[in-house]
Amino acid sequence: MNIAAIVVAAGASTRAGGGVPKPYRNLGGEPVLAHAIRSLLQHERIGTLRVVIGAGHEAYFETVASAMNDDRLSSPVFGGATRGESVLAGLESVEAEHVIVHDGARPFPDLSATEILLDKLQRYDAVFLALPVHDTLCYIDSDGTIARGPDRQNLWRAQTPQGFRRNAILRAYRAVGTSETDDISVARAAGVHAVAVPGSEANLKITVPEDFEVAARILGQDSTSSGKDALQSDKSGLPGPRDVDERGERRNQPTDRSARKDEE
């Protein structure tokens, strides 16, 4: 199976604070993006990996790429004004039967869950990682009062990687446009059947400054040394993240997960 990985790292990182763009900030001695790339390249079935970067981020990316000893890491392409535009640029830049799309701000994609996702790509046009919602969710009116709350029984929160038959997701983007918040939403809006694979709590998306503290705990690092507005020169290899609970505390090493029923 011919698979290309697209890592989206073109955002402005406004919610994470100013300075160095979020994918290039230090996390345990390496940029956040380096952790994501190293993890994905552990999958032998991925034949090429393309990073979508922001304008003016070339020097940051070259520092990351120079530490990678893997010729599957291709030259980057530039993204657009929205995440959807950036993903579309990545999709149009690769030639592969299947693609997986991953957020560059998620440094710890789960290895076993991603392997299950790759397996299911042989049978389905769209597969994504997800976790069940445990918190109570509420709709809040403009005056701060609760309007209503959805039933969380069948609510899951989507993660990346998200995998697709490339022609299917390209057609979906061209039909639906680039305003959706993630790729599985684009696929579903275009009528593409999608199935979920259970993800991992460790596969967090770094969005706000406090997320660096959680990510540092996953790595077992001092959180005060992570997320600083400086691109670190230490590119030594780091151990992969361990499975963690919702607080970022370590659990036992993860075991292979069984996917939910395909029709769920």
Asked if the structure places residue 197 within a domain, the reply is yes
Q: How many CB atoms lie within 10 A of CB 240?
A: 16
More confident residue, 62 or 248: 62
What is the pLDDT, as a whole number, of residue 117? 98
pLDDT at 125 over 50: yes
Domains: count for the chain: 1
168-217: pLDDT as tens digits: 999 999 999 999 989 999 999 999 999 999 999 999 999 999 999 999 99
pLDDT at 221 over 60: no
pLDDT at 241 over 80: no
How, if at all, do strands 46-53 and 126-132 pair? unpaired
26-64: pLDDT as tens digits: 999 999 999 999 999 999 999 999 999 999 999 999 999
Asked if the structure places residue 236 within a domain, the reply is no
pLDDT at 264 over 60: no
What is the pLDDT, as a whole number, of residue 228? 42
Q: Which helix (H) or strand (E) holds 196?
A: strand 194-198
Q: What is the mean pLDDT of residues 98-123?
A: 97
Average predicted confidence (pLDDT) for the chain: 84
- CA 150/CA 179 separation, integer angstroms: 24
Asked if the structure places residue 192 within a domain, the reply is yes
What is the pLDDT, as a whole number, of residue 141? 85
Asked if the structure places residue 9 within a domain, the reply is yes
Task: Report the candidate in 178, 196, 204 with the shortest Cα–Cα distance to residue 90.
Answer: 178
Q: What is the CATH number of the domain that holds 28?
A: 3.90.550.10
What is the pLDDT, as a whole number, of residue 14? 52
Asked if the structure places residue 231 within a domain, the reply is no
Alpha carbon of residue 119 to chain centroid:
18
What is the pLDDT, as a whole number, of residue 19? 75
> Which residues have CB under 8 Å from 264's CB, separation 6+?
195, 196
Q: What is the mean pLDDT of residues 149-161?
A: 87
Encoded amino acid at 176, one letter: V
pTM of the model: 0.81
Asked if the structure places residue 101 within a domain, the reply is yes
pLDDT at 234 over 80: no
Asked if the structure places residue 233 within a domain, the reply is no
pLDDT at 18 over 90: no
- CA 68/CA 61 separation, integer angstroms: 11
What is the pLDDT, as a whole number, of residue 140? 87
Q: What is the mean pLDDT of residues 12-37?
A: 84
Alpha helices in the chain (DSSP H): 32-40, 58-65, 83-93, 111-120, 166-176, 183-189, 210-219
Residue 73's DSSP bridge partners are 49
Asked if the structure places residue 60 within a domain, the reply is yes
- CA 108/CA 186 separation, integer angstroms: 24
More confident residue, 260 or 213: 213
Task: Report the candidate in 132, 130, 192, 189 with the shortest Cα–Cα distance to residue 162.
Answer: 130
Q: What is the mean pLDDT of residues 118-146?
A: 92
E-strand stretches of 11-170: 26-27, 30-31, 46-53, 77-78, 98-103, 126-132, 139-140, 146-148, 156-165
User: Where in the sequence is the domain holding 80, given as residue range(s)?
Assistant: 3-225
